[in-house]
A and B are shown apart, each in its own frame.
Chain A
Amino acid sequence: MAEDKKLMLKIEDVTMRFRMEEDRAGSLKETVTKLLSRKLRFKEFEALKNVSFEVYKGDVLGIIGRNGAGKSTILKIISGILKPTKGHVERFGNIVPMLELGSGFDMDLTGRENIFLNGAILGYSKPFLTAKYEDILAFSELNEFINMPLRNYSSGMLMRLAFSIATVVEPEILIVDEILAVGDENFQRKSRNRMKELMSGGTTVLFVSHDMNQIRELCNRVVWLDGGTIRLQGTTEEVCDQYAL
């Protein structure tokens, strides 16, 4: 099934090793004194060990696993934020991460200014944002509040704005780290529909969640990470049935 599809992501033998200092030196003085007294010890910790998988166009890949299994680490490596210690990732399309609540927002700017700022951070172009501005505004249901500074927004309004900006584009690869349930019930339904729309529209999605119902509903393939290695990968049914056990 996968052979006729275009390869979007190739994760090859990725290993990520962190050096954990036993207690991190927070200042120059501490580092110097520790270096002098040879107390700067490191504990090595492998967050990912030889992980390889491929993602094809149109795939909605769920990544599951317990806390600390390396799910977020692999997403960060894929989006280029972290450099793997070993192995490499090949990307064949532009990646848009769905930001966590407010992480690209500036509270002193208005909603409108934030749409442009956040859009720029996500890599959208100016003509694109200008063209889609009305869509974003309509989807977020913020109406006249769009010209107010963000510090006056409620958290639900912030979420709605963030979601609307992140999904207005049809990115080739979308990375979602558990932020599906935002806003009130009505908006949750709307956002879920938008996600489904995106996923059926040929966008490749990498999706991390603990909610097995969501995974079963949305994904067609699942990678199960356990302690930094791939425990199992395959179709949703196979993996989810195993995972439940």
Chain B
Amino acid sequence: MTKINLKKVSKYVLLVYLAIVILFCAGTWDRLITKGPLGLLKLWWFLIFILVFTLWLLLYLRRMKKCQERGKKCAGLSFAETLFRYRFLIEQLVSRDFKIKYKRSVLGVFWSFLNPLLMMIVQYVVFSHLLGIRGNVEHYAIYLLCGIVMWNGFNDCSTQATRSITSNAPLITKVYVPKFIYPLTRVLSSFINVLLSMIPLLLVTMIYGLFATPHLYLTKTVLLLPFGLIFLLVFATGMGLLLSSLMVFFHDVEFLWSVISTIWMYATPIIYSLSMFEGKAPWLITVMQFNPLYHFIDFMRNIIIYGQAPAFKEFLICGAFAGGMLLIGYAVFHKLEDKFILYL
């Protein structure tokens, strides 16, 4: 077993942590610093939260070091060791999936930019001009684009991951590799596309914003964009783990998922807005609170269109959905993974 350099790992973990905290503070500055006693209270809560979390992180890193010295097992350590040991494989698998996707197309990686743009144009024309259901949504084109990019990202990640175990069957039956690597790499390679599609999203927003009335400018809340993306990534990973493990036993999952994801898409305010249901169907707004994708997309729209940091509550809700999905996905995957080989 290769020993990993925990000092290096700790350094990276702390750097990432620091970056996250700085981004968070910078992005939510306006919400963080509000006048009045209530604002001060909020600030205190925030500081306490950060302090506790930092302490916990430091203690855990220390524990990992102790475990390594004594040769004991601990979850964080074995996870770091697995990632370290298989980092080259992960890198190779991600780059393979990414390369394969556009291998024989002329425009190649440009499709990552083009696809959401074309989708937006089609849907904009259909829903705004033909059907006229744009309602009272401001900047409808950007509203659509945000929704499309986020939804497509999630859909692509989870659909790609669904077949990750079954299509890698020849490898899984021959070489021992921690099996979660296969869905993980599929999700990651699709996630590269999501990252790339952020470029047209932001570009179009800036160009559109100049000509729209009222003008639409990106504000410094764009710094919070990584949070929305991380929530989406974590959530999609959990979904990918769940779907890929079920897929081994029931090939129906693939077909079922395409139906479910279509239903889910229409159940999510991508082309319509919740404000259209105010008065008409208030229960729908309540039900929507349980749709994780609604929260993720709303998070994104807040940042890009309304230029305001999402409420702290929203961070917690999105985080809980993402983390919960990952836990469920991993639990199911872990329980089933030893049986995969008998069914492949």
**Chain A residues near B (Cβ < 8 Å):** 18-19, 24, 26-29, 31, 76, 79-83, 95, 97, 99-100, 103-104, 106, 108-109, 113, 116-117, 120-126
Contacts and interface: CB of A to CB of B under 8 A. Distances in A.
A117 B177 CA distance: 13
Give the interface size bracket for B toward A: 20 to 34
Q: Would you call the interface of chain B mostly helix, strand, loop, or mixed? A: helix
A126 to B, nearest CB: 5
A122 B175 contact: yes
A79 B177 CA distance: 10
B251 A27 contact: yes
B63 interface: no
Nearest to B177: A121
Nearest to A126: B88
Contacts of B341: 76, 81-82
Nearest to B173: A81
A126 B95 CA distance: 14
A80 B176 contact: yes
B176 A109 contact: no
B72 interface: no
B172 to A, nearest CB: 7
Given A27-B250, A31-B250, A125-B88, A117 B174 contact: no
13 contacts: A18-B342, A26-B251, A27-B250, A28-B252, A28-B256, A97-B175, A100-B170, A109-B96, A116-B92, A117-B92, A120-B91, A124-B88, A126-B88
A125 B88 CA distance: 7
Interface in B79-96: 88-89, 91-93, 96
A120 B99 contact: no
A79 B172 CA distance: 11
Interface centre among B91, B175, B251, B341 (most CB of A within 10 A): B175
Contacts of A121: 89, 92, 171, 175, 177
Contacts of B342: 18-19
Given A108-B103, A117-B92, A81 B174 contact: yes
Contacts of B252: 27-29
B89 A99 contact: no
Contacts of B104: 108
Given A28-B252, A31-B250, A99 B88 contact: no
A100 B342 CA distance: 19
Given A120-B91, A123-B89, 8 more contacts: A27-B250, A27-B251, A28-B250, A95-B176, A108-B103, A113-B99, A117-B96, A126-B91
B95 to A, nearest CB: 8
Contacts of A28: 250, 252-253, 256
Contacts of B89: 120-121, 123
A44 to B, nearest CB: 13
B100 interface: yes
Contacts of A99: 174-175
Interface string B143-178: 000000000000000000000000000111111110
B341 to A, nearest CB: 6
Nearest to B89: A120
B175 A81 contact: yes
A95 B177 CA distance: 12
Contacts of A117: 92-93, 96
Interface centre among B256, B338, B342, B343 (most CB of A within 10 A): B342
What 6 A-B pairs come out closest when comparing CB atoms?
Answer: A80-B176, A103-B170, A120-B92, A120-B89, A28-B250, A117-B92
A167 B93 CA distance: 22
Contacts of B250: 26-28, 31
Interface in B243-281: 250-253, 256
A103 B175 CA distance: 10
